[in-house]
Amino acid sequence: MGQAMLTGAAGGGVRGLEILEAAGDGAAVLHVTGNVNSSNAVELLDRLEAVVAAGRPGMALDLSRLAHITSAGMRALLLAERAAVKAGGTLVLYGLHGMTLELFEVGGFLEMFTVAGSREEALRLAAGPAKS
């Protein structure tokens, strides 16, 4: 792969939140680990908005290691997605499974986001249409 990981932690650890960022083909890839709740959702939003502000509005968000997300976390994702779209990009989620997938399903959030079945698909969708 040859991708350098830039780490940014917000109360990392099993119960905290850790966000790792890597460069993808035409899009930023962010890996979210731990729990997103009312005490750290703003840190997730700030990080995602900073990526958009840095000129990378296409983002693939890996949620495969997300243990739990509350409504505050869902709100942060929705606001980040809105910022990405406003900047001409998109936020693509992938890696949803188990209880986290169930939370997205029950809350009706799967219809509110672009959700990919794999990292490759997420990168393709986040990078946008191929340029000729």
Grouping H, G, I as helix, E, B as strand and the rest as coil, residue 66 is: strand
Enter the pTM of the model.
Answer: 0.85
Q: Specify the pLDDT at position 94.
A: 98
Average confidence score pLDDT of the chain: 87
**Token pair 């939003």 is at which residue?**
45
Phi-psi region of 98 (alpha: psi -120 to 50; beta: other; left: phi over 0): left
Q: Would you give the distance in Å from CA 98 to the centre of its chain?
A: 17
With cut-offs at 50, 70 and 90, classify the pLDDT of residue 3. Answer: very low
Residue 11 has pLDDT above 70, yes or no: no
CATH number of 6-126: 3.30.750.24
Q: Which of 10-14, 23-27, 55-59, 62-66 has the lowest mean pLDDT?
A: 10-14
With cut-offs at 50, 70 and 90, classify the pLDDT of residue 67. Answer: very high
Which amino acid makes up residue 57? P
Residue 14 has pLDDT above 60, yes or no: no
Nearest to 28 by CA among 131, 101, 119, 129: 119
Domain boundaries, the chain: 6-126
